[in-house]
Amino acid sequence: MPPDAPPCRDEIVALPPECGLPGGTTMLRLSGNPAGPLVVAIGGISGNRFVCTKADGAPGWWPGLVGHGTAIDPLRHRILGLDYAADPDGAIAPTTQEQARVLCAALDTIGAARADLVLGASYGGMVALALAQHFPERVGRIAVISAPAAPHPAATAVRELQRRTVALGLAHGCADEALAIARGLAMLTYRTPEEFAGRFAGGIPCADPLGASEAGAYLRARGEAWCAVMEPGRFLSLSASIDRHCIDPAAIGCPVLLIGATSDFIVPPAQIEALAAGLSDCRLHLVDCLYGHDMFLKDAERLAPLVAAFMEEAA
């Protein structure tokens, strides 16, 4: 972090009783210029409050779009990151409206009447849409990347298989292995066949039916790494929350930047176009991208000018 960077602070957020989740609290991180426009930046279900900077001051999880020298810069913006509220036991899935209510509680915690911008990708985009519909006084405008008005049936089906896998692992004492498999299955849907073809050879190397292919070894490694940052019960809660998402585009009145990937399996471009058609004030961009649903992470620098231009409209 540059020496002149404004300080960060973490704060506890009390969950509103309406959310009905155990635990009662979550955490936020506030970074950046105290006098700058307030930007909430939230991503997928594995995203956390360290969107701008980590606890040790290293860059956060959204480089290229949030951080020094990017579209959302802590020298110019006040940046709020949030840990999503979830049931650690995996028995309750909050709606995205309830998650938006938690975001309102985070704004209350820092004494902010509203956010100038909520920048949300994937699950975070769903929460941004829910906030704009149900709590319009709390946000000026939203930028939504790879998020629909409601989940696609094929995406719901894949997530349900993931949740069944994790539930089976929990029941039989192998929850981490099950979670790693579920993550590998998810990554197949986040990325594209073209990316896999460019990186790996097909096939397995021997007669062992469980022999690892090049792509399979990669997915195993990513799944095992994910177990260090995601607990099985939390995954069940947030994965199911995605499939409870449903908003009415006609009920959203604020300006919306809507970005989708033409290669996205989870949120196909037709869903993005349908959402745009239902919004009253929308700027739509469909981007050709090798990385599918993971465009917001893997191709963030290409998206930054779109977000920056949308921010400048409000200046």
Question: What's the confidence (pLDDT) of residue 22?
Answer: 81
Active site residue 77: no
Picking from 191, 226, 241, the residue at the C-terminal end of a domain is 241
**Number of Cβ within a 10 Å radius of residue 76:** 15
Question: What's the confidence (pLDDT) of residue 144?
Answer: 98
| The pLDDT of residue 1 is above 50 | no
Residues 78, 179 within the same domain: no
Residues 201, 147 within the same domain: no
- Whichever domain contains 201, its CATH number is 1.10.1740.110
Residues 273, 237 within the same domain: no
Number of domains within the chain: 2
Q: What is the pLDDT of residues 154-183, one digit of tens each?
A: 999 999 999 999 999 999 999 999 999 999
| Inside any domain, residue 2 | no
Type of residue at 2: P
Picking from 219, 241, 263, the residue at the C-terminal end of a domain is 241
| Inside any domain, residue 3 | no
Residues 139, 235 within the same domain: no
Global confidence as pTM: 0.96
| Inside any domain, residue 120 | yes
Active site residue 122: yes
* Structural element, H or E, at residue 145: strand 139-145
Give the angle 179-182-184 at the CA atoms, nearest 5°. 110
Spatial distance between the Cα atoms of 176 and 173, rounded to a whole number of angstroms: 9
Residues 138, 252 within the same domain: yes
> What is the b/e burial string over 118-141, where b = at least 16 CB atoms within 10 angstroms of the residue's CB?
bbbbbbbbbbbbbbbbbbeebbbb
Spatial distance between the Cα atoms of 148 and 135, rounded to a whole number of angstroms: 18
Residues 146, 159 within the same domain: no
Active site residue 293: yes
Cβ atoms 14, 35 nearer than 8 A: no
Identified catalytic residue from 122, 146, 237, 239: 122
Half-sphere exposure of 305 (CA within 13 A, CB side): 3
Identified catalytic residue from 116, 264, 294, 299: 264
Average pLDDT, the chain: 96
Residues 182, 277 within the same domain: no
Type of residue at 129: L
Cβ atoms 36, 77 nearer than 8 A: yes
Instruction: Output DSSP code: residue 2.
Output: -
Q: What is the pLDDT of residues 89-144, one digit of tens each?
A: 999 999 999 999 999 999 999 999 999 999 999 999 999 999 999 999 999 999 99
pLDDT bin (cut points 50, 70, 90) of residue 3 is very low
Residues 102, 227 within the same domain: no
Type of residue at 239: S
Q: What is the pLDDT of residues 285-314, one digit of tens each?
A: 999 999 999 999 999 999 999 999 999 998
Domain hosting 13: range is: 9-151+246-313
